[in-house]
Amino acid sequence: MKSVFISFLGVLLLVSCKSGFAPKIPGETTYKEFSKAQKSYTTKDGKIAYVDKGSGPVLLLLHGVPTSSWLYRNMIDELAAGGYRVIVPDMLGFGNSDSPKGYDLYHPEAHAQRLIALMDHLKIDHWTQVFHDAGGLWTWELMKIAPERVDKLVILNTIIYPPGFQPPIRFKRGFFAKFAMSLYSNGISTDVMLKQLFDDGLMENNLTKVSYQGYKKPLLAGQTKAMYTFFTTTCNNLPNYTDIIRTIDKPTMLIWGKYDKFLVIENMRDEVIKDLQIQPENVHMLEAKHFIQEEKPRAIDRLILGFVGEE
């Protein structure tokens, strides 16, 4: 673990001189504006912030680690304009949601329970679930407890099977992991670490300073408890969801950035397509890496709208 930690710090040193950002785009939504438009619901574990926009059949969009609903900011309006009600939560411990003390609160099954509570609060019985990264964990857990609530699945570079799961860091619980998480919250190293994350997760990292602020501000506010649980638990011992995945009998679309080195589709592609019974016309490999919502938002919107509009 110490060697991993030393390499981790080495990355900081190597990229510390490259932490510049692209300029703001005219008319670009700021994180402050985005946050102001969010609503909130208080679960038994804490407040959940979420976007609720549009009307019609419901699309539930789930982010992963270490992002938030901000990841979908360039997709929400078009999906809503397409005739859908778009719900995009900040999961507990991320974005503008609460980050209570404790770690069991951030296990995948707890996240799934809170999603059900949120949708019950909104009086939404059925929806299409769109999910990215760790959103897959929360989706597979939700499929255990309320599969009848979800009509269709849209998979975006998500965690499915161990062969495809190549997280950038893994930690054991303790001092090194806590210190590493603190680096995400202290300002200068936050910029450096986020830049490295997006350098690795995008074909070309041309995110603006405004874009970075939306990922940076929650971290500066100390939103690292859920990340700590993810990097010290899930990344070391990925739950086996094979049995539950094989029971899913729902129309499913796979949209994947084929150059993703965190979630490698080629290591599990055949098994995923077979187990989820995904039709060939619903498999889409994009010229992108991990954060496909940043690289191909319009293309993903078009694919989702076409898929959910089918009878």
Share of the chain above pLDDT 70, in %: 91
Measured in residues, the chain has a length of 311
Q: What is the distance of C-alpha 110 from the center of its chain?
A: 16
Two tokens at 264?
């490698």
Mean pLDDT of 34-51: 97
* Mean residue pLDDT across the chain: 91
Query: What's the pLDDT band for 311 if we cut at 50, 70, 90?
Result: low
Nearest by Cα to 127 from 113, 137, 142, 141: 142
Two tokens at 299?
């293309």
3-state SS string for 147-161: HHHEEEEEEEEECCC
Rounded Cα distance, 30 and 208, in Å: 11
CB neighbourhood size of 171 (10 A): 24
pLDDT attached to residue 121: 98
Mean pLDDT of 140-149: 97
Two tokens at 200?
């690795």
Eight-class DSSP state of 228: H
Give bridge partners of residue 208 from the DSSP assignment.
Answer: 22
pLDDT attached to residue 138: 98
pLDDT attached to residue 168: 82
- Is the model's pLDDT at 26 over the cut of 90? no
What domains appear along the chain, each with residue ranges and CATH number?
Answer: 28-308 (3.40.50.1820)
Mean pLDDT of 254-279: 97
147 upstream amide cis, omega within 30 of 0: no
Between β-strands 283-286 and 39-42, what pairing exists: parallel, antiparallel or unpaired?
A: unpaired
Helix axes 108-121, 135-145, angle to 10 degrees: 70
Q: pLDDT of 176-203, one tens digit each?
A: 888 888 888 887 788 888 999 999 999 9
Rounded Cα distance, 123 and 112, in Å: 17
